[in-house]
A and B are shown apart, each in its own frame.
Chain A
Amino acid sequence: MASDKVKDVSDADFASVTGSDTPCLVDFWAPWCGPCKAIGPVVEALADEYDGKVTIVKMNVDDNPATPGKFGIRAIPTLILFKSGEKVDQVTGAVGKAQLVELIKKAL
Protein backbone atom coordinates (compact mmCIF):
# COMPACT_ATOMS: atom_id res chain seq x y z
CA MET A 1 0.00 0.00 0.00
CA ALA A 2 2.95 2.35 0.66
CA SER A 3 3.38 4.79 -2.19
CA ASP A 4 6.89 4.92 -3.63
CA LYS A 5 6.43 8.68 -3.84
CA VAL A 6 6.81 9.08 -0.07
CA LYS A 7 10.48 8.28 0.45
CA ASP A 8 12.17 7.83 3.82
CA VAL A 9 14.60 10.47 5.00
CA SER A 10 17.14 10.03 7.77
CA ASP A 11 19.09 12.31 10.08
CA ALA A 12 21.94 11.99 7.56
CA ASP A 13 20.19 13.24 4.43
CA PHE A 14 17.57 15.47 6.10
CA ALA A 15 19.38 18.75 5.39
CA SER A 16 19.95 18.02 1.72
CA VAL A 17 16.36 16.88 1.13
CA THR A 18 14.72 19.84 2.89
CA GLY A 19 17.27 22.40 1.69
CA SER A 20 15.91 22.45 -1.85
CA ASP A 21 13.91 25.35 -3.36
CA THR A 22 11.10 22.87 -3.93
CA PRO A 23 8.88 22.89 -0.82
CA CYS A 24 9.27 19.76 1.26
CA LEU A 25 6.71 18.22 3.64
CA VAL A 26 8.15 15.84 6.24
CA ASP A 27 5.85 13.35 7.97
CA PHE A 28 7.41 12.39 11.32
CA TRP A 29 6.04 8.98 12.32
CA ALA A 30 6.78 5.74 14.16
CA PRO A 31 5.63 2.16 13.67
CA TRP A 32 3.91 2.05 17.08
CA CYS A 33 1.74 5.11 16.39
CA GLY A 34 -1.84 4.41 15.32
CA PRO A 35 -2.71 7.95 14.18
CA CYS A 36 0.48 7.93 12.07
CA LYS A 37 -0.94 4.93 10.29
CA ALA A 38 -4.25 6.76 9.96
CA ILE A 39 -2.70 9.76 8.24
CA GLY A 40 -0.52 7.60 5.93
CA PRO A 41 -3.05 7.21 3.08
CA VAL A 42 -3.75 10.97 3.11
CA VAL A 43 -0.05 11.78 2.87
CA GLU A 44 0.35 9.28 0.02
CA ALA A 45 -2.59 10.80 -1.86
CA LEU A 46 -1.04 14.26 -1.48
CA ALA A 47 2.32 12.97 -2.75
CA ASP A 48 0.54 11.91 -5.94
CA GLU A 49 -1.38 15.16 -6.29
CA TYR A 50 1.59 17.44 -5.68
CA ASP A 51 4.10 15.30 -7.56
CA GLY A 52 6.77 17.62 -8.97
CA LYS A 53 5.58 20.64 -6.96
CA VAL A 54 6.19 19.49 -3.39
CA THR A 55 8.56 16.81 -2.15
CA ILE A 56 6.77 14.67 0.42
CA VAL A 57 8.93 12.45 2.63
CA LYS A 58 8.63 10.61 5.93
CA MET A 59 11.00 10.20 8.85
CA ASN A 60 10.87 7.35 11.33
CA VAL A 61 11.50 9.07 14.69
CA ASP A 62 12.63 5.80 16.29
CA ASP A 63 15.52 5.40 13.88
CA ASN A 64 16.34 9.12 13.64
CA PRO A 65 16.34 10.85 17.05
CA ALA A 66 18.39 13.93 16.13
CA THR A 67 16.04 15.71 13.72
CA PRO A 68 12.84 15.36 15.81
CA GLY A 69 14.83 16.61 18.81
CA LYS A 70 16.05 19.62 16.89
CA PHE A 71 12.49 20.61 15.98
CA GLY A 72 11.11 19.97 19.46
CA ILE A 73 8.76 17.24 18.30
CA ARG A 74 6.90 15.74 21.27
CA ALA A 75 3.97 14.17 19.47
CA ILE A 76 3.41 12.22 16.31
CA PRO A 77 2.28 12.36 13.65
CA THR A 78 3.78 15.82 13.17
CA LEU A 79 4.11 17.19 9.66
CA ILE A 80 6.51 20.06 9.07
CA LEU A 81 6.68 22.05 5.84
CA PHE A 82 10.11 23.32 4.75
CA LYS A 83 11.25 25.64 1.99
CA SER A 84 14.93 26.23 1.25
CA GLY A 85 15.78 24.58 4.57
CA GLU A 86 13.56 26.90 6.61
CA LYS A 87 10.53 25.69 8.53
CA VAL A 88 7.36 27.32 7.13
CA ASP A 89 4.74 25.80 9.44
CA GLN A 90 3.62 22.53 11.02
CA VAL A 91 0.59 20.51 12.09
CA THR A 92 0.26 17.74 14.67
CA GLY A 93 -2.19 14.87 14.87
CA ALA A 94 -4.11 12.84 12.33
CA VAL A 95 -5.64 15.90 10.65
CA GLY A 96 -7.76 15.75 7.51
CA LYS A 97 -6.63 16.25 3.95
CA ALA A 98 -8.04 19.79 3.78
CA GLN A 99 -5.82 20.89 6.68
CA LEU A 100 -2.73 19.41 5.03
CA VAL A 101 -3.55 21.10 1.73
CA GLU A 102 -3.86 24.37 3.63
CA LEU A 103 -0.40 23.74 5.12
CA ILE A 104 1.21 22.89 1.78
CA LYS A 105 -0.24 26.01 0.14
CA LYS A 106 1.77 28.16 2.56
CA ALA A 107 4.91 27.28 0.58
CA LEU A 108 3.50 27.42 -2.96
Chain B
Amino acid sequence: MAKTHYKLIILGAGPAGLTAGLYAARAKMDHLLIEKGAEGGQILLTDWIDNYPGFPDGISGFDLAEKMLAQANRFELNSLFGNVVSMDLTEPVKRLELEDSDPLTCNTLIICSGAHPRPLGIPGEKELAGKGVSYCATCDAPFYRNMHVAVVGGGNTAVQEAIHLTKFADKVTLIHRRDELRATKILQEKAFANPNIDFIWNSNATKIQGTEGVEELHLKNNDGKESVLKIDGVFVLIGVLPNNEMLPLDILKADAGGFIPTDLETRTVVPGVLAAGDIRSKEVRQVINAAGEGATAVLAAETYLTNLS
Protein backbone atom coordinates (compact mmCIF):
# COMPACT_ATOMS: atom_id res chain seq x y z
CA MET B 1 0.00 0.00 0.00
CA ALA B 2 1.20 3.48 -0.83
CA LYS B 3 2.42 5.61 2.03
CA THR B 4 -0.30 7.98 3.23
CA HIS B 5 1.21 9.59 6.34
CA TYR B 6 4.12 12.03 6.51
CA LYS B 7 5.65 13.99 9.36
CA LEU B 8 5.62 17.05 7.10
CA ILE B 9 3.52 17.93 4.08
CA ILE B 10 4.26 21.05 2.04
CA LEU B 11 1.37 22.34 -0.01
CA GLY B 12 2.43 24.16 -3.18
CA ALA B 13 5.72 24.39 -5.08
CA GLY B 14 6.34 28.07 -5.68
CA PRO B 15 9.48 29.70 -4.24
CA ALA B 16 8.22 29.19 -0.65
CA GLY B 17 7.31 25.54 -1.16
CA LEU B 18 10.45 24.70 -3.13
CA THR B 19 12.64 26.28 -0.45
CA ALA B 20 10.71 24.42 2.26
CA GLY B 21 11.21 21.26 0.17
CA LEU B 22 14.95 21.92 -0.08
CA TYR B 23 15.29 22.38 3.68
CA ALA B 24 13.10 19.38 4.51
CA ALA B 25 14.85 17.09 2.02
CA ARG B 26 18.30 18.21 3.06
CA ALA B 27 17.38 17.63 6.74
CA LYS B 28 16.17 14.15 5.73
CA MET B 29 12.74 14.80 7.22
CA ASP B 30 9.88 12.46 6.38
CA HIS B 31 8.25 14.87 3.91
CA LEU B 32 6.03 15.26 0.86
CA LEU B 33 5.62 18.28 -1.42
CA ILE B 34 2.28 18.45 -3.26
CA GLU B 35 1.86 20.60 -6.38
CA LYS B 36 -1.11 20.68 -8.75
CA GLY B 37 0.62 22.34 -11.70
CA ALA B 38 4.25 23.06 -12.45
CA GLU B 39 6.93 23.81 -9.91
CA GLY B 40 7.58 27.54 -9.77
CA GLY B 41 4.19 29.06 -9.09
CA GLN B 42 3.76 32.71 -9.96
CA ILE B 43 7.41 33.27 -10.90
CA LEU B 44 6.51 31.37 -14.07
CA LEU B 45 4.41 34.43 -14.96
CA THR B 46 7.38 36.78 -14.64
CA ASP B 47 9.64 37.40 -17.59
CA TRP B 48 12.65 38.64 -15.64
CA ILE B 49 13.72 38.77 -11.99
CA ASP B 50 16.39 41.32 -11.12
CA ASN B 51 16.04 41.34 -7.35
CA TYR B 52 16.78 37.77 -6.32
CA PRO B 53 20.32 37.75 -4.98
CA GLY B 54 22.96 35.47 -6.44
CA PHE B 55 22.08 36.23 -10.05
CA PRO B 56 24.02 39.41 -10.87
CA ASP B 57 22.60 39.62 -14.40
CA GLY B 58 19.07 38.73 -13.34
CA ILE B 59 17.29 35.50 -14.26
CA SER B 60 14.04 34.54 -15.95
CA GLY B 61 11.24 33.30 -13.69
CA PHE B 62 11.23 30.07 -15.64
CA ASP B 63 14.96 29.41 -15.09
CA LEU B 64 14.80 30.35 -11.42
CA ALA B 65 11.98 27.85 -10.88
CA GLU B 66 13.97 25.11 -12.60
CA LYS B 67 17.07 25.86 -10.55
CA MET B 68 15.12 25.86 -7.28
CA LEU B 69 13.58 22.50 -8.18
CA ALA B 70 16.91 21.02 -9.27
CA GLN B 71 18.51 22.12 -6.00
CA ALA B 72 15.77 20.46 -3.92
CA ASN B 73 15.92 17.33 -6.10
CA ARG B 74 19.64 17.05 -5.41
CA PHE B 75 18.64 16.18 -1.83
CA GLU B 76 15.91 13.76 -2.93
CA LEU B 77 12.86 15.95 -2.65
CA ASN B 78 9.78 13.76 -2.39
CA SER B 79 7.03 15.34 -4.46
CA LEU B 80 3.58 14.44 -5.72
CA PHE B 81 1.45 15.84 -8.53
CA GLY B 82 -1.98 16.28 -6.98
CA ASN B 83 -4.75 18.70 -6.17
CA VAL B 84 -5.72 19.17 -2.52
CA VAL B 85 -9.40 20.10 -2.41
CA SER B 86 -10.03 20.34 1.35
CA MET B 87 -8.47 19.58 4.71
CA ASP B 88 -9.27 18.85 8.33
CA LEU B 89 -6.97 20.69 10.74
CA THR B 90 -8.99 20.13 13.92
CA GLU B 91 -6.97 17.10 15.14
CA PRO B 92 -3.24 16.84 15.90
CA VAL B 93 -2.94 14.63 12.80
CA LYS B 94 -3.94 16.82 9.86
CA ARG B 95 -5.88 15.25 6.99
CA LEU B 96 -5.80 16.41 3.36
CA GLU B 97 -8.41 15.36 0.80
CA LEU B 98 -7.18 15.09 -2.80
CA GLU B 99 -9.09 15.32 -6.06
CA ASP B 100 -7.90 12.06 -7.60
CA SER B 101 -6.28 9.98 -4.90
CA ASP B 102 -6.60 8.76 -1.32
CA PRO B 103 -6.44 11.25 1.58
CA LEU B 104 -3.05 12.00 3.10
CA THR B 105 -2.25 12.76 6.73
CA CYS B 106 0.60 14.62 8.41
CA ASN B 107 1.81 15.93 11.77
CA THR B 108 2.89 19.27 10.37
CA LEU B 109 1.68 21.16 7.34
CA ILE B 110 3.30 24.09 5.56
CA ILE B 111 0.78 25.97 3.45
CA CYS B 112 2.48 27.57 0.42
CA SER B 113 -0.55 27.66 -1.86
CA GLY B 114 0.32 31.14 -3.12
CA ALA B 115 -1.85 33.61 -4.96
CA HIS B 116 -3.21 34.35 -8.42
CA PRO B 117 -3.79 37.56 -10.39
CA ARG B 118 -6.76 39.63 -9.26
CA PRO B 119 -9.37 40.28 -11.96
CA LEU B 120 -10.88 43.73 -12.51
CA GLY B 121 -14.41 42.43 -12.14
CA ILE B 122 -15.85 44.61 -14.90
CA PRO B 123 -18.26 43.77 -17.76
CA GLY B 124 -16.63 42.07 -20.74
CA GLU B 125 -13.58 40.87 -18.79
CA LYS B 126 -14.67 37.23 -18.41
CA GLU B 127 -16.17 37.01 -21.89
CA LEU B 128 -12.98 38.28 -23.53
CA ALA B 129 -10.46 36.42 -21.35
CA GLY B 130 -8.02 34.79 -23.77
CA LYS B 131 -9.40 36.96 -26.57
CA GLY B 132 -7.50 40.07 -25.67
CA VAL B 133 -7.86 40.12 -21.89
CA SER B 134 -4.74 38.68 -20.26
CA TYR B 135 -3.22 38.28 -16.81
CA CYS B 136 0.21 37.15 -18.01
CA ALA B 137 2.26 39.49 -20.18
CA THR B 138 5.12 37.00 -20.39
CA CYS B 139 2.77 34.41 -21.89
CA ASP B 140 0.77 36.55 -24.25
CA ALA B 141 2.93 39.53 -25.27
CA PRO B 142 4.11 37.87 -28.54
CA PHE B 143 0.49 37.81 -29.79
CA TYR B 144 0.46 41.62 -29.85
CA ARG B 145 3.20 42.37 -32.36
CA ASN B 146 2.70 45.86 -33.80
CA MET B 147 -0.52 46.37 -31.84
CA HIS B 148 -1.69 48.77 -29.14
CA VAL B 149 -2.30 47.32 -25.69
CA ALA B 150 -3.35 48.65 -22.30
CA VAL B 151 -1.92 47.65 -18.95
CA VAL B 152 -4.11 48.27 -15.92
CA GLY B 153 -2.21 48.73 -12.66
CA GLY B 154 0.59 50.77 -11.13
CA GLY B 155 2.64 48.38 -9.02
CA ASN B 156 5.88 46.57 -9.78
CA THR B 157 4.24 43.84 -11.85
CA ALA B 158 2.23 46.26 -13.99
CA VAL B 159 5.20 48.52 -14.74
CA GLN B 160 7.68 45.67 -15.31
CA GLU B 161 5.31 43.91 -17.71
CA ALA B 162 4.41 47.18 -19.50
CA ILE B 163 8.11 47.54 -20.28
CA HIS B 164 8.26 43.89 -21.43
CA LEU B 165 5.21 44.41 -23.69
CA THR B 166 6.98 47.20 -25.60
CA LYS B 167 9.28 44.51 -27.07
CA PHE B 168 6.27 43.36 -29.09
CA ALA B 169 3.50 45.97 -29.09
CA ASP B 170 3.91 49.31 -30.88
CA LYS B 171 2.30 51.19 -28.07
CA VAL B 172 1.50 50.41 -24.45
CA THR B 173 -0.89 52.58 -22.46
CA LEU B 174 -0.65 52.19 -18.72
CA ILE B 175 -3.82 53.01 -16.84
CA HIS B 176 -3.57 53.75 -13.16
CA ARG B 177 -6.19 54.87 -10.68
CA ARG B 178 -3.81 57.25 -8.86
CA ASP B 179 -1.60 60.13 -10.06
CA GLU B 180 1.65 58.30 -9.31
CA LEU B 181 2.97 54.77 -9.64
CA ARG B 182 3.45 52.46 -6.69
CA ALA B 183 6.26 50.60 -8.50
CA THR B 184 9.85 50.89 -7.34
CA LYS B 185 11.80 53.94 -8.57
CA ILE B 186 14.08 52.10 -11.00
CA LEU B 187 11.10 50.59 -12.82
CA GLN B 188 9.33 53.96 -12.91
CA GLU B 189 12.36 55.61 -14.47
CA LYS B 190 12.60 52.89 -17.10
CA ALA B 191 8.91 53.21 -17.94
CA PHE B 192 8.96 57.04 -18.13
CA ALA B 193 12.00 56.88 -20.40
CA ASN B 194 10.36 54.39 -22.76
CA PRO B 195 8.91 56.26 -25.78
CA ASN B 196 6.39 53.48 -26.45
CA ILE B 197 4.66 53.73 -23.07
CA ASP B 198 2.12 56.43 -22.34
CA PHE B 199 0.11 56.94 -19.18
CA ILE B 200 -3.48 57.64 -18.27
CA TRP B 201 -3.65 58.76 -14.65
CA ASN B 202 -6.46 58.89 -12.11
CA SER B 203 -8.62 56.53 -14.12
CA ASN B 204 -10.41 53.23 -13.64
CA ALA B 205 -11.35 50.68 -16.29
CA THR B 206 -15.12 50.24 -16.32
CA LYS B 207 -15.91 48.00 -19.29
CA ILE B 208 -14.16 45.95 -21.98
CA GLN B 209 -15.88 45.61 -25.35
CA GLY B 210 -15.38 43.63 -28.52
CA THR B 211 -16.96 40.86 -30.56
CA GLU B 212 -14.27 38.42 -31.65
CA GLY B 213 -11.59 40.05 -29.52
CA VAL B 214 -10.97 43.14 -27.42
CA GLU B 215 -11.70 46.37 -29.32
CA GLU B 216 -12.43 49.00 -26.69
CA LEU B 217 -11.54 49.73 -23.10
CA HIS B 218 -13.92 52.10 -21.35
CA LEU B 219 -12.46 54.38 -18.70
CA LYS B 220 -13.75 56.74 -16.05
CA ASN B 221 -11.46 59.25 -14.43
CA ASN B 222 -11.66 60.38 -10.84
CA ASP B 223 -13.71 63.45 -11.85
CA GLY B 224 -16.33 61.14 -13.37
CA LYS B 225 -15.37 61.87 -16.97
CA GLU B 226 -15.75 58.87 -19.26
CA SER B 227 -13.65 57.97 -22.28
CA VAL B 228 -13.09 55.08 -24.67
CA LEU B 229 -9.71 53.71 -25.70
CA LYS B 230 -9.45 51.77 -28.97
CA ILE B 231 -7.26 48.87 -28.03
CA ASP B 232 -6.18 45.36 -29.13
CA GLY B 233 -5.48 43.91 -25.71
CA VAL B 234 -5.86 44.57 -21.99
CA PHE B 235 -3.36 43.25 -19.47
CA VAL B 236 -4.79 43.20 -15.96
CA LEU B 237 -2.00 43.46 -13.39
CA ILE B 238 -3.62 44.85 -10.26
CA GLY B 239 -2.35 42.58 -7.52
CA VAL B 240 -3.23 39.14 -6.30
CA LEU B 241 -5.92 37.07 -4.57
CA PRO B 242 -5.07 34.15 -2.27
CA ASN B 243 -5.26 30.52 -3.44
CA ASN B 244 -7.26 29.50 -0.40
CA GLU B 245 -10.19 27.47 -1.71
CA MET B 246 -8.81 24.29 -0.08
CA LEU B 247 -8.19 25.95 3.31
CA PRO B 248 -10.47 26.09 6.39
CA LEU B 249 -10.40 29.88 6.61
CA ASP B 250 -12.34 30.17 9.88
CA ILE B 251 -10.03 27.75 11.70
CA LEU B 252 -6.93 29.50 10.33
CA LYS B 253 -8.45 32.90 11.20
CA ALA B 254 -7.86 34.25 7.69
CA ASP B 255 -7.70 38.04 7.32
CA ALA B 256 -10.36 40.05 5.48
CA GLY B 257 -8.58 39.40 2.16
CA GLY B 258 -8.47 35.63 2.74
CA PHE B 259 -4.73 35.49 3.51
CA ILE B 260 -3.39 33.50 6.49
CA PRO B 261 -1.92 35.34 9.48
CA THR B 262 1.17 33.90 11.17
CA ASP B 263 3.76 34.94 13.75
CA LEU B 264 7.36 35.72 12.78
CA GLU B 265 8.18 32.00 12.79
CA THR B 266 5.39 31.45 10.18
CA ARG B 267 3.21 29.65 12.76
CA THR B 268 -0.53 29.96 12.16
CA VAL B 269 -3.04 29.81 15.02
CA VAL B 270 -3.27 26.02 14.50
CA PRO B 271 -0.41 24.14 16.21
CA GLY B 272 1.74 22.34 13.64
CA VAL B 273 0.38 24.36 10.72
CA LEU B 274 2.72 26.92 9.13
CA ALA B 275 2.14 29.31 6.22
CA ALA B 276 4.82 30.70 3.91
CA GLY B 277 4.96 32.82 0.77
CA ASP B 278 2.18 34.79 -0.88
CA ILE B 279 -0.62 33.03 1.05
CA ARG B 280 0.65 34.67 4.26
CA SER B 281 -1.04 37.81 5.47
CA LYS B 282 1.66 40.46 4.89
CA GLU B 283 2.58 43.65 3.05
CA VAL B 284 5.49 42.55 0.86
CA ARG B 285 5.16 39.71 -1.63
CA GLN B 286 8.56 39.04 -3.19
CA VAL B 287 10.36 35.87 -4.29
CA ILE B 288 13.08 36.47 -1.72
CA ASN B 289 10.80 36.67 1.31
CA ALA B 290 8.71 33.73 0.08
CA ALA B 291 11.90 31.66 -0.03
CA GLY B 292 12.96 32.92 3.41
CA GLU B 293 9.60 32.04 4.91
CA GLY B 294 9.78 28.55 3.39
CA ALA B 295 13.03 27.95 5.23
CA THR B 296 11.67 29.43 8.47
CA ALA B 297 8.60 27.23 8.24
CA VAL B 298 10.61 23.99 8.02
CA LEU B 299 12.63 24.98 11.08
CA ALA B 300 9.38 25.77 12.93
CA ALA B 301 7.97 22.40 11.83
CA GLU B 302 11.09 20.62 13.14
CA THR B 303 10.73 22.35 16.51
CA TYR B 304 7.07 21.37 16.68
CA LEU B 305 7.88 17.73 15.84
CA THR B 306 10.66 17.62 18.44
CA ASN B 307 8.31 18.89 21.13
CA LEU B 308 5.72 16.29 20.12
CA SER B 309 8.00 13.35 20.80
Task: Please report A residues at the B interface, Cβ cutoff 8 Å.
Answer: 30, 32-42, 45, 62, 72-78, 90-94, 96-98
Contacts and interface: CB of A to CB of B under 8 A. Distances in A.
Given A34-B40, A75-B134, 12 more contacts: A32-B62, A33-B139, A34-B43, A34-B65, A35-B44, A37-B62, A38-B44, A40-B38, A42-B37, A62-B142, A72-B213, A77-B139
B131 interface: yes
B29 interface: no
Interface of B: 36-38, 40, 43-45, 61-62, 65, 81, 83, 99-100, 129-136, 138-140, 142-144, 212-214, 233
Contacts of A75: 129-131, 133-134, 136, 139-140, 143
Give chain A's interface secondary structure class.
mixed
A70 to B, nearest CB: 12
Given A32-B62, A40-B38, A93-B130, A76 B140 contact: yes
Nearest to A41: B81
B37 A72 contact: no
11 contacts: A30-B142, A33-B139, A34-B44, A34-B139, A38-B37, A74-B144, A75-B133, A75-B140, A92-B129, A93-B135, A97-B100
B125 to A, nearest CB: 12
B130 A35 contact: no
A78 B142 CA distance: 15
Contact of A73 (B81, B83, B99, B143): B143
A75 B213 CA distance: 11
Nearest to B47: A32
